[in-house]
Structure formats: structure tokens, C-alpha cells
Amino acid sequence: TRARVMAAEWGYSPTNGPDVWARLFPQAGGARQSPVDICTSIASSDSNLEMKKLTFAYESQSDLRILNTGHGWKVEAPQSGSRLEGGPLGEDIYQLEQFHCHWGETSAEGSEHTVDGRAYAGELHLVHWNTTKYQSFAEAAQHPDGLAVLGVFFDVGNESNDEIEKIVSTLSEIKFKGQFTDIPDVIDPTTFLPSGLGYWTYLGSLTTPPCNECVIWIVYKEPITVTEEQVTYH
Ligand SMILES: COc1ccc(N[C@H](NS(N)(=O)=O)Oc2ccccc2)cc1OC
Ligand SMILES: [Zn+2]
């Protein structure tokens, strides 16, 4: 039936959106689903998180492939030389796999997480997987400590972000879902991170189907500034 056909293509409308994802993707009905609203008044500061500082090391890469996923863009950036560790990640080392962005029709909305009910213009996700315990990204995505995703909020301001511009400037070549192209510039993921490194962390899930409950979320408190053009659909 049409309803079944619609549900097979998940999205964000009333007939195929988050409220019905659990029909096709059972994990979407789970107890640790993302995104969440971060209530800063009940977020507790955890002293042993400070003890083991979160540290990261990335490589610079050029000719990265960017894909239009139909729900945003994704840059495949497997970096065997990258390391994310410490903080909430225990003794395990996580490696960068890809990064992608969520944004909205206007700069009034677009982020997946909200902070005390407030949405940001967009949100960048740097996705890492646990190479200490698992042999592949796909395997890691089946385990509760398999993935670690760094979230960085976008605030709209007057200055553009040069690194984001390297990505956004290629979007005109991939207007349709499934299209991809290579980013000629050298990209250093370190430059996406805010200067203030305070963060919130919680155990959650992929925010889209299949909604696997396999993500240790690390959401930076400080947004980075981009221009309106850099975070809105054209
Ligand atoms: C099986 O592996 C995955 C399957 C699906 C997603 N979706 C992802 N979820 S998120 N926001 O939690 O990273 O969302 C997007 C949205 C736009 C572009 C790319 C990803 C991520 C996965 O691995 C990270
Ligand atoms: Zn995401």
C-alpha cells in the first residue's frame, strides 16, 4: 500500500517521521534515543571527567568525498591516524570515520540537540568508532560503546568559517540525494572545534534510522560561528 511505501522511505513528515520510525526500526523505540534537549540545570558536573581530559588528534586530508544523503551532507573521512580518547571514553581509543551536518530551512532551527529548549542554526557531527574493542565501524555500531560522536553547534554571525566554506562551496555540485564529489581543499577537522572545550556527555543513539543505541555523545557547550549562507538550504 502507499502507506507501506511511504514508511519504507523514512523522513521527517507525519507519515514517515520520528513518531513512526519504530515500526521499521525497532531501536527507535528504545530507552536511550537521541537527540535530546540538554537541560543545563540538571546536567551534573562529573569530577572524574575532568581527571581524564578528552583529547583528540586528527590528520589533515584532501580529496575527501562529500555525499548528499538526502537529509544533509556527509564527508567520508576514515582516519587511521586519528585518536579521540579520555573524558567519558574510558580506556578505549576512537577513530574518525566521517563527519556530517544537520541544518534547517532557516537559521532559527536546524540543530538536532537543543539546550534548554533552544535550537541552534545547525549542528556538526564528527563520528568516531571504538578501535580498541571492535574490528570495523559496522561492528562497532552494534554495541553500546561502539561510537563516539562530537557535536558542535552552529551560531549564525557575521564572520564565515573558512573550513566550513571549503565544504559548503562544493554543495552546488551535489544538489540531489546520492550525488557525491571530491573536496579539493585540505580539511583539518581540528578547526571545526570551538576554542572552549567544555562539553555535555550522555549515552544515546544514532539520531536517524536505524537509530542504533551505540553512541557516546559529547556535545560542546560553545558554538562555532558561521554565516547564514553557510547553514541554510538554497
Ligand atoms: C549505520 O551508521 C549510521 C547510519 C545512520 C546515521 N545517520 C546519522 N545519525 S547521527 N546524527 O546520529 O550521526 O545522521 C546523518 C545525517 C545526515 C548525514 C549523515 C548521517 C549514522 C550512522 O553512522 C554514524
Ligand atoms: Zn548527525
Q: In this structure, which ligand is nearest to the CA of 124?
A: 2
ipTM of predicted assembly, 2 dp: 0.96
Concerning whether 71 is annotated as a catalytic residue, the answer is: yes
d(CA 21, CA 12): 10
CB 150 within 8 A of CB 116: no
Task: Tell me, using a 6 A CB cutoff, whether residue 74 lines ligand 1.
Answer: yes
β-sheet bridge partners, residue 149: 127, 217
CB 83 within 8 A of CB 95: yes
β-sheet bridge partners, residue 129: 95, 147
Render each residue's pLDDT in the chain as its tens digit; 234 residues. Answer: 555 544 468 999 999 999 999 999 999 999 999 999 999 999 988 887 776 899 999 999 999 999 998 878 999 999 999 999 999 999 999 999 999 999 888 889 999 999 999 999 999 999 999 999 999 999 999 999 999 999 999 999 999 999 999 999 999 999 999 999 999 999 999 999 999 989 999 999 999 999 999 999 999 999 999 999 898 766
pLDDT, tens digit, for every residue of 171-209?
999 999 999 999 999 999 999 999 998 999 999 999 999
Task: Tell me, using a 6 A CB cutoff, whether residue 113 lines ligand 1.
Answer: no
Task: Tell me, using a 6 A CB cutoff, whether residue 77 lines ligand 1.
Answer: no
d(CA 121, CA 116): 15
